Amino acid sequence: MSKKTVFSGIQPSGVLHIGNYLGAIQNWVRMQHETENYFCVVDLHAITVRQDPAELRENTLRVAKIYLAAGLDPKACTIFIQSHVKEHPEFAWILATLTYMGELGRMTQFKDKAGTKGENVGVGLFTYPTLMAADILLYDTHLVPVGEDQKQHIELTRDLALRFNNAFGATLVVPEPVIRTVGARIMSLGDPLSKMSKSDPRPATYIALTDAPEVIRKKIARAVTDSGADIRFGPEKPAISNLLTIFHLTSGTSIPELERRYRGKGYAEFKRDLAESVIEHLRPFQERYAALDDAEVLRLLADGADRARAVAACTMHRVKERMGLVPA
Ligand code: TYM
C-alpha cells in the first residue's frame, strides 16, 4: 500500500513556542516514517502582516532549523521555503476564483487579526486561507497535522477541493486534519483562556523553544494559576489543566498519575518539577539546534524546494488543463 502524504507549515513570524511544538511539530516527527512528508516554512503567509526584512530572513532560517532540531529527518521529509515554489501563489489565485467572500469573512483567525482595523485590513489577511489551501492541495495531501486553531482553514480547504472536483472533474485529493486529543491547544501562561501565541508581545506568556533553563524556570514560576490549591485537571481549573497538559506531554507521565503524585502538595513544588520536565524535554532539541550549520541548512532547503517544485508543477499542469487554460 502506498504511503499517505502529509503537508504542514509554520509561519516565520515571532518566536516559536512549545504550543507550536506540542500542537504540531511533535506529531510530524512521530508520523514521519509512516508517511510521505512536506514541511514548509510559510513565509508568504507571514508577510500578511508587516515584517521587518532582516528579521523575516532570520526567522525563516530559524524555523527550518527548528524543524531539523526537533527531529525531522530530511531523508523522510521534503523541507522547503514556500516562496521558493512559485506554484503556491499561482494556485492560490486560481482557488481564490472559487472562494466566496462569505467563507473568508467567517474565518475566526481573520476576524481576530482584522480586529478593529475596519476597511484598512490588508487583503492578504483576508485571502490567507486560499494560499493555505493551495499549499495543501498542490501535494495531493491526505493528512494535515495541525493545532486546533487551524481546523477551520482545513475545512475550507476540503470545501475548495470538492468544489473544484465538482466543477472540473476529479482532480484534487480532499485532505483531512490530524489534531491531537491532548495538546492541540496549549494556552497562554498569562491567561489560560487564550491560546499561547507567537505574536503575543509579552514573552512571559509563552515558553520559546530556544529559552534557556533559567528563563523557563522563571516563566513557569510566574505562570498564573487557578483559585484553590488542588492540582486537578478539569474545566473549572483552566490554568492548572494547561500546566498538567504540558507536564504530561513533556514527561510521558499520564495526567491522572500526575494528579496523584501532587495530591496535597503545593503549586510551588508542582511548578518546580514541571519546569525541570520542560527543560529536560527541550535539552536534546536545543543541543541539536545549536550544532546546526546554516550553510548546510540552506543546501537542504534548496534541495527540498527542487523536490517540492517537481510535484507542485505536475499538479498545476493538471489543474490548468482541467480548467481550459492553454498550456504554455
Ligand atoms: P502558525 O504558524 O500560527 O502555527 C504553526 C502550528 O502550530 C500550531 N499552534 C498551536 N498548537 C497548540 N497550541 C497552541 N497554542 C498553538 N499555536 C499554534 C498551529 O495550529 C499550527 O499547526 N496557517 C498556519 C500555517 C500554514 C499551514 C499551511 C498549516 C500555512 N499553510 C498548510 C498547515 C498546512 C498558521 O498560521 O500556523
Instruction: Report whether residue 19 contacts ligand 1, using a CB cutoff of 6 Å.
Output: yes
Q: Residue 328 pLDDT more than 90?
A: no
What's the gap in Å between 268 CA and the centre of ligand 1?
Answer: 32
Q: Which residues does 84 contact at the CB level (< 8 Å), separation at least 6?
A: 301, 302, 305, 308, 309
pLDDT digits (tens, 9 = 90+) for 107-123: 999 998 888 788 889 99
Q: Is 237 a residue of the active site?
A: no
Please state the rounded mean pLDDT for residues 246-274. Answer: 96
Return the ligand 1 atom nearest residue 187 CA: 15
Q: Pick the residue with more confidence: 115 or 309?
A: 309
Say which of 4, 65, 75, 195 is annotated catalytic.
Answer: 195
Q: CA 308, CA 275: separation in Å to the nearest integer?
A: 39
Nearest alpha-carbon partner for 253 in 225, 272, 281: 281
pLDDT, residue 114, reads 87
pLDDT at 117: 83
198 in catalytic set: yes
Ligand 1 within 6 A of 137 CB? no
pLDDT at 221: 97
* CA 197 / ligand 1 centre spacing (Å): 10
316 Cα–ligand 1 center, Å: 25
Is the C-beta atom of 172 inside 6 A of ligand 1? no
Q: What is the pLDDT of residue 84?
A: 98
Confidence label for 229 from pLDDT (cuts 50, 70 and 90): confident
Residue nearest to atom 22 of ligand 1 (CA): 146
pLDDT at 1 over 80: no
Mean pLDDT of 122-150: 97
Percent share of the chain, pLDDT over 90: 93
**8-63: pLDDT as tens digits:** 999 999 899 999 999 999 999 999 999 999 999 999 999 999 999 999 999 999 99
Q: Is the CB of 147 under 6 A from ligand 1?
A: yes
pLDDT(281) > 90: yes
How confident is the model at residue 165, as a pLDDT?
A: 98
Domain positions in the chain are 5-178+293-323, 203-289
Residues in the chain: 328
Quickly name the fold that domain 203-289 has.
Answer: Tyrosyl-Transfer RNA Synthetase (1.10.240)
pTM beyond cutoff 0.75: yes
10 CA distance to ligand 1 middle (Å): 6
Place of cell 486534519: 177
**Top-tier CATH class for 5-178+293-323:** alpha beta
Q: How far apart are CA 80 and CA 303, in angstroms?
A: 8
Question: pLDDT tens, 82-107?
Answer: 999 999 999 999 999 999 999 999 99
Q: Among residues 113, 151, 218, 320, which one is catalytic?
A: 113
Task: Identify whether 320 is a catalytic site residue.
Answer: no
Query: Alpha-carbon distance 28 to 6, whole Å?
Result: 8
**CA proximity to 134, closest of 114, 164, 107:** 164
Q: Which atom of ligand 1 is nearest to the CA of 7?
A: 34
SS (H, E, C) the chain: CCCEEEEEEECCCCCCEHHHHHHHHHHHHHHCCCEEEEEEECHHHHCCCCCCHHHHHHHHHHHHHHHHHCCCCCCCEEEEEHHHCCHHHHHHHHHHCCCCHHHHHCCHHHHHHHCCCHHHCCHHHHHHHHHHHHHHHCCCCCEEECCHHHHHHHHHHHHHHHHHHHHHCCCCCCCEEECCCCCCCCECCCCCCCECCCCCCCHHHCCECCCCHHHHHHHHHHCCCCCCCCCCCCCCCHHHHHHHHHHHHHHCCCHHHHHHHCCCCCHHHHHHHHHHHHHHHHHHHHHHHHHCCHHHHHHHHHHHHHHHHHHHHHHHHHHHHHHCCCCC
pLDDT band at 230; cut points 50, 70, 90: very high
Q: What are phi and psi of 92, to 5 degrees?
A: -60, -40
Residue 174 confidence (pLDDT): 98
pLDDT of residue 303: 98
